[in-house]
Structure 1
Amino acid sequence: MILNRYERMIARRYLLPEKGERFIFVVAGFSVGAVALGVAALIIVMSVMNGFRAELFDKIVGLNGHALVQGYEGRLGNWRQIADQAKKTPGVTSALPLIVQPLMASTNGRVEGVLVRGMRVEDLRANKTITSNVLSGDIRSITPGSNQVAIGSELAKMLGAFPGSEISLISPEGRSTVVGTVPRIVSFTVGAVFEAGVYDFDKSFVIMPIEDAQSFMMMGDEVGMIELQTDNPDRVGEIVAPLQNLVRGRGIIVDWRQMNSALFEALEVERVAMFVVLCIIILVAAFNIASSLIMLVRSKTRDIAILRTMGATRQAMTRVFMTVGLTIGTVGILAGVLLGAIFLFFRQSVVNFIQLVTGQNLWDPSVRFLSELPSKTDPIEVAAIVLVTLVLTFFATLFPARRAAATDPVQVLRYE
């Protein structure tokens, strides 16, 4: 919007009213604050939702892959053939054998349900989700025949275990006797404690070399599943489709969307719902701008009439008041973006402070899945938020600006 010199002077004058018109300035300030809070809230919520989805995806996929070839009854024979064929499939970047079995763990008189995960040592060392988050102990101590395991941090707390502690794993598939099957109980030493960042993993995972898992569970050379990584998670179904015939009759293929469909669909629905709700807050802020401009037009009716008699056109008055409204909106947007950025940078400190003041646990990992409040700001979404706010502000200024332009100087100055 291009303004003449005198139009810019008038707009600046109306943005900074004189002493007797401070009330209008206060109302405009409230409008700026409302826009800033709306924009900041929208940026914060969308960034947290994006971060939540990204963190969950990275953690879950980091431990479960993009797809799993699962053997029937938890056993997959001739798995090397499947793994070799999977590696040759276009789009598949890795195929890793795994054994995943729910068992019981006992130590210090405590018993907890666990998920034993057998991995090849080289695959364990290459898994950044685990190796980059070791809290205590040494992950390199987990080697075949060492009788050492790595456990999640929450499980360590529940069992009261730490590196060097002995834990007993209990498998229902033991040896047969005349009185029935006797559970198999084997003791292992905790070699490392890790925190993957997903509560459900940290409270249940016991990781050991795949050779030790095969021996403990009496599986011979079989594995439970093959974890597949692809170069495009969104096309995982299409990429692994050629493997369906190979595994038919021996197992099934499930991808990350099928394994976690309810969770990610719920996140997407909540994300859209929050965007709509917070856009309503920005709409209310736009109405505040419209209200402040209407008050400004009412208080400046005489000034507008004089300007019209001096040659100012209707279009000039429209531009002046639209500039005032858009300036208020722009200042609010800039303040909102800054406020949102500051909050996101200190988000965990803010959560910790509120927890300290209120005494409430606002971020319980057992409910929120993740250990800390995540954030991932999408520049495209921020640009969309700014654009939506500008559009709403633009439409909010139309009516007051047109009312100012429609002022009849004859009627206003008749009795002056």
Structure 2
Amino acid sequence: MILNRAERMLARRYLLPGKGEGFIFLVASISLVAVALGVAALIIVMSVMNGFRADLFDKIVGLNGHAIINGYDGRLADWEQIADQARKTPGITEATPLIEQPLMASSNGRVEGVLVRGLRMEDIRGNATMNSNVVAGDMKSITPGSNRIAIGSRLAQTLGVYPGMEISLISPEGRSTVVGTVPRIVSYTIGAVFEVGVYDYDKAFVIMPMQDAQDLLMLGDLVGMIEVQTTDPDKVDEILAPLQRVITGKAVIVDWRQMNSALFQALEIERVAMFVVLSLIVLVAVFNILSSLIMLVRAKTRDIAILRTMGASRRGMMKVFVTVGVTIGSLGIILGIVLGAIFLFFRQAVVSAIQTLTGANLWDPSVRFLTELPSRTDPFEVGAIIFIALILSFLATLYPAYKAASTDPVQVLRYE
């Protein structure tokens, strides 16, 4: 929309408060702030929701892979052949054999349920999710036959242990006696404590070399499952389809969506619902723009009539008031982007300040899975938010602009 010099001058004049127009200016300022708050709220909430999903996905996949080929009864026969076939399948980047078994852990008179995971040494050393988040001890101390293990930080706190201390793992697969099966109890030394940021994992995981896990669970040379990484987690079904013939009767494939289906579906529904609900804030804000422009048109009726008698066109008057409204909306959008960026940058400090003032734990990791408030801003979503706010601001200007353009100068000046 191109304005001539006179129309630009009028638009600037109507954006600034004139004599006796302080209330109109106040309403317009409130409209600008309302648009800013609506845009900021949308950007903040959508960024946090995206960050929560992305961080949760990265950490879950970092430990569980995109899919698991799970052997029946926790034992996978011919696992070498299956792993080799998986690595040759297009779209699969890694196929990692592992052992995973829920057991009991005991130390200092405390007992907790744990999830023992046995990995090859190269997989333990190459797992960035664990190795980059070691809070105590050294992952290099964990070697086959060393009797050393790594545990999650929350489990270490619950059992009251730290590197150098011992814990006992209790396996129901023990030896048979005349009085029944006696559980197998093996003591291990804590070599490292890690914290990946997912509460359920930090509270349960026990990592050890695969040979030690096979000895503990009396599996011989067998493994329990194969962890698979793919090039595209969203197409994991298509990528793994050729493997179905190989594992038929031996194992079952469970992908990341099946393992965490309820969680990720709930996140997606909540994300869409929050976008719709918070969009209503922007809608309410543009109604303020509508009301301020209607008040401005009413206050400027005589000026509009004079301008019309001097040769101003209806189209020109419409452009002036549309420009005023869109300018208010645009300034609000810019302010909202700035507010949203500032909040997201200092988000953890804001959460800490609110917790200090209220005394409430707003980010309990046992409830929210992650230990910090995440954020990941999607440029396409920000663009969509800006576009929606601009369109709504433009639509809010049409009725006041039409009323201004349809002003009859004869009727107005006759009674002025």
Structure 2 CA distance, aligned partners of 1:142 and 1:408? 88
Structure 1 CA distance, aligned partners of 2:40 and 2:384? 13
Q: Which residue of 1 aligns with 2:307?
A: 307
Q: 1:65-119 CA deviation, whole Å, 9 max, x = no partner?
A: 0111100011112211111111111111111011010000010111100000100
Q: Which residue of 2 aligns with 1:40?
A: 40
Q: Which residue of 2 aligns with 1:108?
A: 108
Structure-to-structure mapping, 1:218-237, within 5 angstroms: 218-237=218-237
Report the alpha carbon displacement of residue 121 of structure 1 after superposing the two structures with TM.
1.0
Structure-to-structure mapping, 1:206-285, within 5 angstroms: 206-285=206-285
Q: Which residue of 2 aligns with 1:30?
A: 30
Structure-to-structure mapping, 1:64-213, within 5 angstroms: 64-213=64-213
Structure 2 CA distance, aligned partners of 1:75 and 1:339? 54
Q: CA RMSD in A?
A: 0.7
SS at match of 1:324: helix
Letter in 2 for 1:249: G
Structure 1 CA distance, aligned partners of 2:74 and 2:271? 36
Structure 1 CA distance, aligned partners of 2:400 and 2:18? 21
SS at match of 1:20: coil
Instruction: Judge which range, 11-20 or 263-272, deviates more.
Output: 11-20
Structure 2 CA distance, aligned partners of 1:241 and 1:124? 28
Report the alpha carbon displacement of residue 17 of structure 1 after superposing the two structures with TM.
1.5
Letter in 2 for 1:321: F
SS at match of 2:305: helix
SS at match of 1:221: coil
Structure-to-structure mapping, 1:284-303, within 5 angstroms: 284-303=284-303
| Unaligned stretches of 5+ residues in structure 2 | none
Give the TM-score normalised by structure 2: 0.99
Letter in 2 for 1:265: Q
SS at match of 1:182: strand
Report the alpha carbon displacement of residue 250 of structure 1 after superposing the two structures with TM.
1.2
Structure-to-structure mapping, 1:279-358, within 5 angstroms: 279-358=279-358
Structure 2 CA distance, aligned partners of 1:25 and 1:19? 11
Report the alpha carbon displacement of residue 247 of structure 1 after superposing the two structures with TM.
1.0
- Percent of pairs with identical residues: 74
Structure 2 CA distance, aligned partners of 1:72 and 1:209? 22
Structure 1 runs of 4+ with >6 Å offset: none
SS at match of 1:312: coil
SS at match of 1:327: helix
Structure 2 CA distance, aligned partners of 1:208 and 1:250? 25
Letter in 1 for 2:2: I
Structure 1 CA distance, aligned partners of 2:410 and 2:17? 25
Report the alpha carbon displacement of residue 19 of structure 1 after superposing the two structures with TM.
4.0
Q: 1:207-252 CA deviation, whole Å, 9 max, x = no partner?
A: 0001100001100000010001111111111111111111111110
Report the alpha carbon displacement of residue 415 of structure 1 after superposing the two structures with TM.
3.1
Structure 2 CA distance, aligned partners of 1:37 and 1:415? 42
Is 1:413 matched with 2:413? yes
Give the TM-score normalised by structure 1: 0.99
Letter in 2 for 1:299: A
Q: 1:275-300 CA deviation, whole Å, 9 max, x = no partner?
A: 11011111111101000000111111
Q: 1:328-359 CA deviation, whole Å, 9 max, x = no partner?
A: 00000000001001111111111111001100
Is 1:370 matched with 2:370? yes
Structure 1 CA distance, aligned partners of 2:117 and 2:357? 40
